[in-house]
Every structure is written in structure tokens, then in C-alpha cells.
Chains A and B, each alone.
Chain A
Amino acid sequence: MTSPLAIVLVATGALTLSTPLLAADAAAGKAGWTKEYPASDGSAARSCATCHGRDLTQPGRQANTGKVIEPLAPSVNPQRLTDPAKIEKWLLRNCKWTIGRECTAAEKADFIAYIKTQ
């Protein structure tokens, strides 16, 4: 179901875009970023941008607690995408909260590819 190795490889750039199974697509990640999904608890529809915003170089805000989330863009926050365990943890949690299910390996690769370009 999940593919930690693939994510690490994509995150570190070791996996080239030509790999057929995991052709990480930054454009698809960008499109998925703002796609809204209805929340099962009746609260407002959610997307990645709900907490992280549309401009990844800017800080975001946790929708429930209001806590500031440091920018995701590696260009302004070099710590991002450097810790595979963190990447796994947050993709698992945040896909479940936002979309209502775990993301596929391809979806996760696309999101990472998009974030990397920011």
C-alpha cells in the first residue's frame, strides 16, 4: 500500500522521472494541492491549501489549532524533504485528514515532486 522506499527515492531525487511505475509529476501534485474534498464530519471542504496555503514559500496555519506551520518550500525552508520519517508521517496523516484515505504511492510522489519545485 505505502512505499516508503519509493518516497525516499523521489524525495532525494534518486528516482528519475522516466521510471514508469513512479513517474512523479509535479504538475499533477500542484493540481492535487488545491483539490477540495468534503469532510466527513460536516466541516468545510478540505485541501492541502487549507492548512499550508497556496503559496508554499509562506507559512500556513493548522486549521483546528491555529498553530503556524513553517513554509513547505525547500527554497525558503531547507529542512523540508530531508527526513524520510517525517515525510512518511505527514503524508499518511494529512492524506487521511484531507482526502479521507491514505494517498497512493503515485499521489505521494506527485506531491513531493511539486513541493520540491517550490
Chain B
Amino acid sequence: MNHHQQILSILAVGIFTLGAAGVAFGDDDDDDDRRGKRSQPRADFAPLTNVAYSEECGSCHMAYQPGLLPARAWTAIMSPAGLSNHYGDDASLTDELRNEISAYLTANGADRSGGKRASKFAESRAGVDSGLPRISANPYFVKEHDEIPARLIKDNPDVGSLSKCNACHRGAAEGDYSERQINIPGHGPWED
């Protein structure tokens, strides 16, 4: 490591530490909505900034914020084999698009950055099919959803699956998963 790189590293660590301290002191409430007075609440997850990702992935399902999975999970999902069996679908891309989208997702993964709730998603797990990592298998995600009865999600014709975040989280597309924004079709708001 040369001299310039050392200085850059020290600066980067310093900036990161300041940022982390800001998160630690500012984040005293997971749901960010009970005080209600915060002028510009930071999104739970950084919003999407890559057009190719929004278009390519969003044409079949909600384009999940990159902060919902760690970088290594995105790498597995975006591999050629991962895309050709994409949770039961074929989602193959040209190498050019695949590389662009993969670089975007991994650079903004839950373990890299991505919003105040992203750190809870730094651990990823495969689903019961032991295939690709699933956001819905993350322990924090499971804990947040385990009290919701099946009739409101799986057996709810307007929802059908936990994978359809935006069916109930009305701010999901903007990265806002606060309790205040929940409206379960046929049921209404959800109080944890």
C-alpha cells in the first residue's frame, strides 16, 4: 500500500465511523414513525438508482432494494446459473446487462450500505428449497412477519406471498417499510 492509499484508507475509515455514529444515535426506533415529526425520515433502504436493474428485474416483480440482501447473496442470484433457475423462472440476461446489474446490487448490498434498516439484512439464508438466498428467509424478516396469519398473506388472493412486499407495504417501492405504511388488502393497517 503506498502513501496515498494509506491516507485514503484512514479518511475512508474516519468517514465511515462518523456515518455509523450518526446511524447509531439517530436510530432509536425501528419503525421511525411513532414520533411523526421528523422532517425528512431517511428511507429504510436506499432507493433504486440503476435503471437497468429497475427495468430488467422490475418487469416481473417488485425490484427489491439492494439493501435487502448482502453482496454475496446478490452474487449467487446474478450468476448465469442463478439466473437460469431464478426461483423457478428463467431470468437469463446478456452478460453485459448481468454484469452491470450485479455490480450495482453487490456495491449496494445490505453489508455495504443501503439505508437504516439494511444492516439487519446482512445475513442471508436460503429458503426451505435450499436454493438461492431469499429475503424472506432472513431472521429479522421472519421475526417481523411471523405473527401475521396465513389468511392475510399466503391465502389472501390480493397478496399470495411474502415476496410481494408492495402488496401490503405501500411505500415499498420507495424503500419505506415503516409500520405506518402497512395496509393489508382486505384487512387494513397492521399493529405489531
- Residue B137 interfacial (CB < 8 Å): no
* Residues 83-97 of A at the B interface (beta carbon under 8 Å): 85, 89, 92-94, 96-97
Minimum CB–CB distance from B70 to chain A (whole Å) comes to 23
Any A CB within 8 A of the CB of B183? no
A-B pairs with beta carbons under 8 A, tally: 33
| Per-residue B-contact encoding for A51-77, CB less than 8 Å = 1, 0 else | 000000000001011110000000000
A89 and B149 CA atoms in complex are apart in Å by: 39
CB neighbors of A among B145-165 (8 A) = 160, 163-164
Contact A96 B84 (CB under 8 A): yes
Contacts A67-B61, A97-B89, A97-B90 aside, 10 further interface pairs with beta carbons under 8 A come to A64-B60, A64-B88, A65-B164, A67-B60, A85-B94, A89-B93, A93-B89, A93-B91, A93-B92, A96-B90
Q: List 5 A-B contacts (CB under 8 A).
A: A64-B60, A66-B160, A85-B94, A89-B93, A96-B84
Q: Which residues of A contact B93 (CB under 8 A)?
A: 89
Q: Which residue of A lies closest to B93 (CB)?
A: A89
Find the B residue at minimum CB distance from A66: B160
CB of B190 within 8 Å of the partner chain: no
By a CB distance below 8 angstroms, the chain B residues around A96 are: 84, 90, 92
A31 to B68, CA, bound (A): 42
Name the interface size band of chain B: 10 to 19
B140 at the interface (CB under 8 A from A): no
Residue of A nearest to B61 (CB): A65
Tell me the bound Cα distance from A43 to B88 in angstroms. Answer: 10
Complex Cα distance, B84 from A89, in Å, reads 12
CB–CB B164/A66 < 8 A: yes
Task: Kindly state whether residue B16 has any CB partner on chain A within 8 Å.
Answer: no
**A interface list, Cβ under 8 A from B:** 41, 43, 62, 64-67, 85, 89, 92-94, 96-97
| Residues B60 and A65 in contact, CB atoms below 8 Å apart | yes
Shortest A48–chain B CB gap in Å is: 14
Are B94 and A89 within 8 A (Cβ)? Answer: yes
Report B98 CB to chain A, min CB distance, Å. Answer: 11
B87, CB-defined interface residue at 8 Å: yes
- A92 near B92: Cβ-Cβ < 8 Å: yes
Complex Cα spacing A60 to B76, Å: 30
A49 to B117 alpha-carbon distance, docked (Å): 40
Given the complex, which residues of B lie within 8 Å of A85, measured CB to CB? 94
CB–CB B84/A41 < 8 A: no
| Of A43, A65, A94, the contact of B163 (CB 8 Å cutoff) | A65
Distance to closest chain A CB from B95 (angstroms): 13
Q: Are A64 and B94 in contact (CB under 8 A)?
A: no
